[in-house]
Amino acid sequence: MKHLILAVISTVTLFTLNVMAETPTEALKKAVATLGPATVTDTNYNLGSIQHIVLFRYADNVTDQQKEEVKKKFLALQQLCVRDGKQYIRSIETGTQNSGEGFDQQFEQAFIVTFKSEGDRNYYVGQPVITDAKYYDSHHQAFKDSISPDKPVHPSGVFVFDFKIEEKTRRAIVPEQ
């Protein structure tokens, strides 16, 4: 009986924690409502290297040439995305899926976009959280619009995952032997 009560209490506690946990989207919406879009898109808002990972899965009818065009448009964002006269994207890297593990979920193309702060990432991403066009990048929005589901060439799936690099985990690149 003692174990059953403990199990119920543990389950209720976990359920309560899960219900109370705020998603990153909810936290950002709250920050925008509290601080305003100018603050959460400021280049100095929450400084620290941010990795914005984007994966594309394409429909079977999308040709290799069309995929290449999407890739070129995405990579061009590094030069096009400018604020206050300066490029704010630190880097964009890309590659196609080549793992044999079988967990790719048919995603084909990956992009890693690096920013110096959450503010720069928020300015880049914009909609749906940042809705005032003064506070998001029109070039990135145009790119997103160009691959939306109503367009002839669009990903059949998109996965986005952002994270801030934890400084204590940053390690130097091991030189080749």
CATH number at residue 81: 3.30.70.100
Could you tell me whether strands 47-58 and 86-87 are parallel, antiparallel, or unpaired per DSSP bridges? unpaired
pLDDT of residue 132: 96
Within a domain: 172: no
pLDDT of residue 61: 86
* pLDDT of 10 higher than 80: no
Give yes or no for a contact between 32 and 130, defined as CB atoms under 8 angstroms apart: yes
Give the residue with greater pLDDT, 78 vs 61: 78
- Mean pLDDT score, 162-166: 93
Within a domain: 41: no
pLDDT of residue 85: 94
Give the residue with greater pLDDT, 75 vs 150: 75
pLDDT in tens, 104-163: 999 999 999 999 999 999 999 999 999 999 999 999 999 999 988 777 667 788 999 999
Within a domain: 37: no
- Mean pLDDT score, 56-82: 94
Q: Please tell me the total count of domains within the chain.
A: 1
Q: Rounded distance, CA 66 to CA 160, Å?
A: 21
Q: Which domain holds residue 137?
A: 46-166
Give the residue with greater pLDDT, 13 vs 90: 90
pLDDT in tens, 12-65: 444 444 556 799 999 999 999 999 999 999 999 999 999 999 999 998 888 999
How many other CB atoms are there within 10 angstroms of residue 144's CB atom?
13
